[in-house]
Amino acid sequence: MKKNTTIIGFNQSEFDRFKQIETDLFNFKDDLLELSDHAVGADKITDLKKYLQDPINFLVDLYRTLYITNKPDTADFKGIFQTETRIPLSKVKEIKDLFDARMKALGRHAPIINGKEIISTLKKDSFNIYLDETKREHYETLNLYVDSYKKLATLTNVGGSIHCIRAVGSLQMDGIGVKININDFKE
C-alpha cells in the first residue's frame, strides 16, 4: 500500500515536546560522563552503551581496575569508590533513572546508543500531519470554499469570518481569518 504523502499540517507542539525530552536526555548523558571524568579521569569510558546501561557497576569496576589493586575480592568496592571519589552512588542512580525515563518517554523517537556516541533519531517529518485519503475530496472542496470566501471578502462585505464557519463544519477561526480544522482530515 502506498504511503500517503499529502501533508496538511505539522504538529509543532509535539515536536517541541519531544525535542525538549531529547535535550534533557543528552544533558543527563553529559552529567553521567562528567561524573565518570571526575571519578576515573577524562576519556576513560570506552563503551558508552555499556556505561549508560549500568553506570554504577561500570564506574565501580573501572575504578577498581584502575586504582584499587591491593584489596581482596571481598572488599566493599562501592564503599571504597564513594569514599575515595566523593561521588555518592545515589547521585549516579538518580541521574541514570532520569536518563532512563527520558529514553522511555521518547519511545520510537529514542536515540541509538552505540559504543562511542548517541545518535538522534528525532526527525521533524515524523510530526507531519497527513491527509486521510478517504477524505481528500471533502478537504479539497473546503480549501476551495475558504479561498473563495477570502476572495469574496475582498470584493464585498461578507460580515466577518464567523459566517463562513457557521455555514460549513470542519472550519475554525485562525486569528481573524478562517482555516480548515485539520484534525477532521488527518490519518
C-alpha 37/C-alpha 28 separation (Å) is 14
Mean of per-residue pLDDT scores for the chain: 91
Residue range 26-40: mean pLDDT, rounded: 96
In the predicted structure, residue 2 carries a pLDDT above the cut 60: no
In the predicted structure, residue 30 carries a pLDDT above the cut 50: yes
* Residue in the block written with cell 529514553: 103
Residue range 140-145: mean pLDDT, rounded: 91
pLDDT at residue 177, as a whole number: 79
Residue range 95-118: mean pLDDT, rounded: 96
pLDDT at residue 3, as a whole number: 65
Residue range 78-101: mean pLDDT, rounded: 97
Q: How many helices (H) and strands (E) does the chain have?
A: 7, 6
In the predicted structure, residue 34 carries a pLDDT above the cut 90: yes
Domain ranges of the chain: 7-126, 131-184
C-alpha 96/C-alpha 54 separation (Å) is 8
Q: In a 10 Å sphere around its CB, with 0-12 CB exposed, 13-18 middle and 19+ buried, how is residue 96 labelled?
A: buried
**Mean pLDDT comparison of 64-73, 105-114, 140-149, 164-173, highest-scoring range:** 105-114
Where residue 1 falls among pLDDT bands split at 50, 70, 90?
Answer: very low
